[in-house]
Structure 1
Amino acid sequence: MPIDPNFETNRERVGEENGVTVWGPVDPPEQLGIHGTHVAVDYDICIADGACLEDCPVDVFTWVDTPGHPESEIKVEPTREDQCIDCMLCVDVCPVDAIDVDPGRAGRT
């Protein structure tokens, strides 16, 4: 199941990690929620293949450790989502549809 494009409405903002908004539910290490707002990554389905990180022309993503998560023990975090140019490459290359970019959410990180 892909990331919920309406997560801002359907999920609760539960805090921040590394300056990035986190949307719940969160129950580590199995359930890590969605990280980011303008550029959002569903950590619960991300398999960390790195395609988004490699293809992003403005280096929005960085690796973070997620030890014990059943899908992967690292994830890509939209650390610099404010730099996103809305090219949608990350959305296009994600094999599990774990990323959503919404220009309408820009500036609401």
Structure 2
Amino acid sequence: MIGHVGPEAALGGEIGLIEDGDTIIVDLNTNQINCIELSNTSILNKRKLAWEKTVKSNGGVHPSLGVVDTRLLNRMRHSSVSAKFGAGMHPNRDLWISEPRNPEETSFIPSNKFRDSTPI
């Protein structure tokens, strides 16, 4: 598994704006996944506006999400937050943290312990 796509995609995050034919670069050395087309601001803005229009015309939910037909799915839809906020469940998506911390810059660089890091 390379990436976690929801709820970012369902909420209009960039991963939800990727289209068939886009160029995706998966860089395991830097732990990044990038869509070349979305680095163009005009393309990104155009797709975001189209996504928002589709959601608005469908009662606030993207049609690709399907129908909520169980209490569990309804609860998940209304309380899940994206991975960048901890991928947890928070009522009404209001992020609650019991002991918030201030982020600190470090020199940590992620690495793959199963890959030889010796330069070629």
- Category of TM-score, reference length = shorter chain: under 0.3
Q: Which has the higher helix share?
A: 2
| Structure label with greater radius of gyration | 2
TM-score (norm 1): 0.24
Structure number with higher relative contact order (C-alpha < 8 Å, ≥ 6 residues apart): 1
How high is the TM-score relative to the length of structure 2?
A: 0.23
